[in-house]
Amino acid sequence: MKDALAFLGQSQYEKVNGGLEGMVLSFITTDLYSARDIEKNILKIDDIGEEVGHKFEIIIAAKENSSYDTMLFSDLERKIENLSVIRVRKVNQGMAKRVATNLSTGKYLVFFDSSFSYSIEFADIIASYLRSGEKAILISDLIVLPREIFIHAGGYRDLSYAEDIDLLARIYSYASIVAYPILGSSMLVKQGTPILTQDRDFWNQLTTSGMKLGKALRDQILACNYKLSDIIEMNAESRGPDALRRLILRLAFLFARSSRVTPITHEQNNFVMLMDKMLESLVLKDYMRLEGINMKPMLSLSTQMRLYLSKTSAAWKSHDIDTLLTIQ
């Protein structure tokens, strides 16, 4: 742990000016790919918003789809007074979130995954973050940040995958983070884990939902600013050498480099940068700034991803930090 602490520096925090009047929280998500159990999951977000105790709204950007989806969302809007469902056509995840955010009015933005089931304990985390008044980004199993930081970063770009990692990559230079993952931060870890290393159920979910696998691969490479060596190494460690997989990855890499979207660049790729920032915050116990919470934070990684990070980043070489991790 001493090695990790020696590598990591203390972050400085500012306070958000002003009180918490008017619309305080905007919970924002998408349902472009027909997430499972979305009705139950959105009702839980409504419970969390009520428990936080400030005025809030929930906005879902959903694609125009079947009559079943129309009935489902109409029923949800009847159950949840402060829910708005925005119908979008031919858009990707980044664009849909941008549209939803432009129509939101909250001082703080909460980006969550509509396929996740969030427990009521997240209300305590969000409420404590709001009370702290820190001008920092809360990275848990959702993302909470002041609207002004989101605007300063330029918002979401037109990416079909890993759009949250791309957004965060544009924020590090002027805003700190407070990491407090409870469910392993799987929303962000999944976005950074190479798509071809994930199980076939995940591939099927992408393709049957209408997302093109090639575009998802391209946008993940762009958002994470992966080098060809990064994606080949991570895929090899997970699945072993495979000529067809290597060919697909090379084609996706060339596809990404010819895109009109320019990747955000740091000394390390953007996923490693995110993992370093989260580890730094966990080692320094920044989550202790959130008073009144006693849940143990935990970051969940696959064995292959843990190995990759230890090879790539000095911060991840120490085995002492494994007490903060769940290795799958």
Average pLDDT over residues 288-311: 88
pLDDT tens for each residue of 52-75? 999 999 999 988 765 557 788 888
Q: Are 83 and 58 in contact (CB under 8 A)?
A: yes
pLDDT of amino acid 138:
96
Task: Pull the structure tokens for residue 327.
Answer: 């290795």
Task: Pull the structure tokens for residue 273.
Answer: 């940068």
3-state secondary structure of 263: coil
Q: Is residue 124 part of a domain?
A: yes
Asked if residue 30 has pLDDT above 60, the reply is yes
Bridge partners for 137 per DSSP? 177
Q: Is residue 125 part of a domain?
A: yes
Q: Is residue 219 part of a domain?
A: no
Average pLDDT over residues 135-164: 94
Q: What percent of the chain has pLDDT over 90?
A: 47
Q: For the chain, how many residues are written?
A: 328
Average pLDDT over residues 220-225: 93
Q: Is residue 270 part of a domain?
A: no
pTM, rounded to two decimals: 0.87
pLDDT tens for each residue of 226-281? 998 888 787 765 555 577 777 777 787 887 777 778 888 888 899 999 999 999 99
Q: Is residue 5 part of a domain?
A: no
pLDDT of amino acid 316:
92
Is the Cα torsion angle 204, 208, 209, 213 positive or negative in sign?
A: positive
Q: Could you tell me the CATH number of the domain that includes residue 162? A: 3.90.550.10
Q: What percent of the chain has pLDDT over 70?
A: 84
Q: Is residue 326 part of a domain?
A: no
pLDDT tens for each residue of 152-180? 999 999 999 999 999 999 998 889 999 99
More confident call, 22 vs 82: 82
Q: Is residue 213 part of a domain?
A: no
Q: Is residue 38 part of a domain?
A: yes
pLDDT of amino acid 6:
37
User: From CA 258, how far away is CA 253, in angstroms rounded?
Assistant: 9
Beta 25-31 vs 108-111: how paired, if at all?
parallel
Residue type, 178: V
Range of the domain at 61: 25-182
pLDDT-derived band at 15, boundaries 50, 70, 90: very low
Q: Are 220 and 226 in contact (CB under 8 A)?
A: yes
Count of C-beta atoms within a 10 Å radius of residue 291: 8
Q: How many domains does the chain have?
A: 1
Q: Which of 58, 57, 59, 53 is nearest to 20 (CA)?
A: 53
Count of C-beta atoms within a 10 Å radius of residue 244: 7
Q: Radius of gyration over alpha carbons of the chain, in Å?
A: 19
